[in-house]
Amino acid sequence: MSEEFKVEIVNPEKSFLIKEDVFEVVVPAFEGEMGILKDHISIISFLKPGIIKILSKSGDENYFVEDGIVEFKNNNLSILTSSIFNLNDLDKSKQQDLLKQAEEEANKPEINDQSKYLVDQKIEVLRSLN
């Protein structure tokens, strides 16, 4: 029996990625990283900023996301996100830009606890990339 399932990443503009030969996906879920294998129970969760790792037959891929929702059902994994970047395309200068934006946001006085937490996460992830 094959151990593969389908993953689909959608952003508001288009279907970002569809892959049918995936063994495992690791997503940065809100309460910690979560690995999803075939025949996982149906689950809905949302993402915090982090790296999505996709392990598949045709090679591994890494993506940086800022937010999103994951839904897993009948061996279909859907990831909805409004901002996603392929790590290979994310060069140093772009990382710096994102980092700068995040730092600016973190320093705003009116920020609330939850978004502060998310921004801090983002900064941490971005720093670890460098």
Partner 1 sequence: MASLDDLKKRIASVKSTQKITKAMKMVAAAKLRRAQESAEKGRPYSDKMNNVILNLSSGISDKENAPKLLSGTGNDKVHLCVVMTSDRGLCGGFNSNIIKKAKSYFAKLSEEGKDLKIVTVGSKGNDQLKRFYGNKIIANMSFKESKNANYFDAEKVGKMVIEKFESEEFDVCTIFYNQFKNVITQIPQAQQIIPLNTDNSEENKSEDSYEFEPDEDEILSNLLPKNISTQIFKAMLENSASEQGSRMSAMDNATRNAGEMVDKLTIEYNRSRQAAITKELIEIISGAESL
Smallest separation, CB 130 to partner 1 (Å): 26
On the CB side of 1, CA atoms within 13 Å amount to 4
Question: Binding pattern to partner 1, positions 48-77, x when CB under 8 A?
Answer: ---------------------x-x-x----
Binding to partner 1, residues 1-20 (CB under 8 A): 10-15
**Considering the rule CB under 8 A, would residue 121 count as an interface residue with partner 1?**
no
Looking at the chain, list the stretches that DSSP marks H as alpha helix, in order from N- to C-terminal side: 92-106, 113-129
Smallest separation, CB 110 to partner 1 (Å): 13
The answer to whether 28 touches 45, Cβ cutoff 8 Å, is no
Tokens of 90: 């994310």
How many Å apart are CA 3 and CA 24, to the nearest integer? 9
**Considering the rule CB under 8 A, would residue 113 count as an interface residue with partner 1?**
no
Classify residue 66 by its DSSP letter: S
End-to-end CA distance of the chain: 40
The single residue among 38, 45, 62, 85 that binds partner 1, judged by CB under 8 A, is 45
Task: Point out which residues bind partner 1 (CB under 8 A).
Answer: 10-15, 29-31, 34, 41-46, 69, 71, 73, 78, 80, 82
